[in-house]
Chains A and B, each alone.
Chain A
Amino acid sequence: MNIHIKTAWDHVRRAPFQAMAAIFVLTITFFVITIITILGYSSSQVLKYFETRPQVITFLKDDITPEKISALQNKLEADNRVSEVSYISKEQALEIYKKATAGNPLLSELVSPSIFPASLEFSLVDLSYANDLIEEIKGEEIVDQVGFTASLGGEETLSDVVNRLRTFSNYIKIGGGAFALLLTSTSFLVLIVIIGMRMTSRRGEIEVLDLIGATPGFIRSPIIYEAIIYAITGVFIGWLIALLLVLYATPSLISYFGEIPVVPKDTLKLFGLFGLILGAEFLIGLFLAVSGSILAVLRVKRK
């Protein structure tokens, strides 16, 4: 084992309470950061889900040739304000109606496909494009009427729902970010204090090393490694607790939110997301450890 890592590890073992204090604070910090990141991700996903649901339904006139329908579909697909265009035939429209009225079979018995218009359904990249685009489509020759998906959860329009979600998502991101920053700053200060204490208790050893020709880098290395040990351990434990919590809650979340993707349903994607978070947290942890320990060394040296 590298002599600096061994020295750092010896220091961790010989002052376990200082080490535990540092690791606990970092664990709490990175647990909260992981949870806030997941909440941020979930709110973005929910927002995206509602934003990209089929929102505009273009009812087509009867007796329109497939070529004309296809031309309009291609035109919509080429429009960068539009996403996920799909054609719903009269028969498909009836099926949708039947599903929607499954609780009352009488309603579906009375209808035939011919009374349902075929339609082109699509969603918008951003809801702000809705009015312009609807006006444009109304001018198309084959279009009879244009409908807009509305009335979700008692809200007047989808736009209201999305706006509320966007506000909620921003609250999570800004509030969570501020809280994470506060905890990160606390961790940074705790690291500086603990490393400073370690430096003070090692003053004699540092003096000897200096006299026998150790470079400043040689003297600093065990201190930096020690801070890195705290950071990596804290990051990993905090992340692991958050992962276990999310894994435990995932089945309930999926059954409660249904098709709204608050957490990735694909296990590989979920672990991919957590892997990315862990990687980013390791980088933050390393930054805290290295900058905190260098700052602590400089402060003790100045004294």
Chain B
Amino acid sequence: MLKLENVTKTFGKIVALKDINFNIGDSEFVFITGASGAGKTTLLRLMLRELLPDSGKIELDKEDITKLPSKQIPRLRQKIGVVFQDFKVLGERTIKENVEVALAVIGLPKNDWEARVEHVLKLVGLTDRADLFPAQLSGGELQRVSLARALVVNPKIILADEPTGNLDWETADKLMDLFEKINSEGKSIIMATHNKLIIDKMNKRVIELKEGGVFSDSESKVKTKSEKGKK
């Protein structure tokens, strides 16, 4: 479903990502891990077409998104659900409105909103918080709002950038259960995190980045040749 081929991205003289290659299949749950500055967020931003690579191809459903014209970027993003470390909920809108805005973005008729919103709020356990404003919610709840907003458009793939970064262990653990449940329903999840506890607990595929390259990919269970050489 998602395929990266020789993806390289630099910022001036800094090489953020270098010759990244991997495939992610349907319904797969993949952790992108690595130390701060390893390139995790850059990788996710490339997948969202927030950035363009210097070279290489990124294919989503066999469509090279690096060649998408600017006008088509919203269409690409509407297929992807995004969860951010800092939640990025809209502070002046209620929880329900925060979720509804994603439906408005994809242009779904208003008559169909109610059922979808109810479903996702129930899924993330926020039905009773629907009419509250973000300022009235805890960090864990806000992250669930962010997840509900990502899910409500029924995306094929969810990108999560350090979703547990601002949460305590217990809350993070509950959130990960939710991600697992969503994954079991057939959605692919690509999650950038450096939380070892979570990665160990979840026992999913892990792509480890180091100095802009793929250091290891648990799918292949081997370290890349270049990294072996360095060792």
Residues of chain A at the chain B interface (Cβ within 8 Å): 3, 10, 14, 204-205, 207-209, 211-215, 218
Contact = CB atoms under 8 A, between A and B. Distances in A.
Nearest to B81: A212
Interface string B59-77: 0000000000000001111
A213 B50 CA distance: 11
Contacts, number: 45
B102 to A, nearest CB: 6
A215 B104 contact: no
A213 B92 contact: no
Contact of B75 (A205, A207, A209, A213): A213
B187 interface: no
Interface string B70-100: 0000111111101000001110100000001
Nearest to A3: B104
B92 A209 contact: no
B101 A213 contact: no
Contacts of A218: 74, 104-105
Interface in B97-113: 100-102, 104-106
Given A10-B92, A14-B92, A209 B77 contact: no
A209 B82 CA distance: 11
A44 to B, nearest CB: 50
Contact of A212 (B75, B77, B92): B77
19 contacts: A3-B101, A3-B104, A204-B88, A208-B88, A209-B101, A211-B77, A211-B82, A212-B105, A212-B149, A212-B150, A213-B74, A213-B77, A213-B78, A213-B80, A213-B106, A214-B105, A215-B74, A218-B104, A218-B105
Nearest to B149: A212
A87 B28 CA distance: 100
A160 B90 CA distance: 70
A213 B89 CA distance: 15
A212 B50 CA distance: 11
Contacts of A207: 88
B48 interface: yes
A65 B26 CA distance: 107
A289 B77 CA distance: 30
Contacts of A14: 92
A3 B100 CA distance: 9
Contact of B105 (A10, A204, A205, A213): A213
Given A205-B90, A211-B48, A213-B105, 8 more contacts: A3-B100, A3-B104, A10-B92, A211-B77, A212-B82, A213-B75, A213-B153, A214-B74
Nearest to A211: B82
A14 B93 CA distance: 12
Interface string B202-225: 000000000000000000000000
Nearest to B105: A214
Contacts of B48: 211
Contact of B88 (A3, A211, A213): A211
A192 B102 CA distance: 28
A119 to B, nearest CB: 75
B102 A212 contact: yes
A3 B82 CA distance: 22
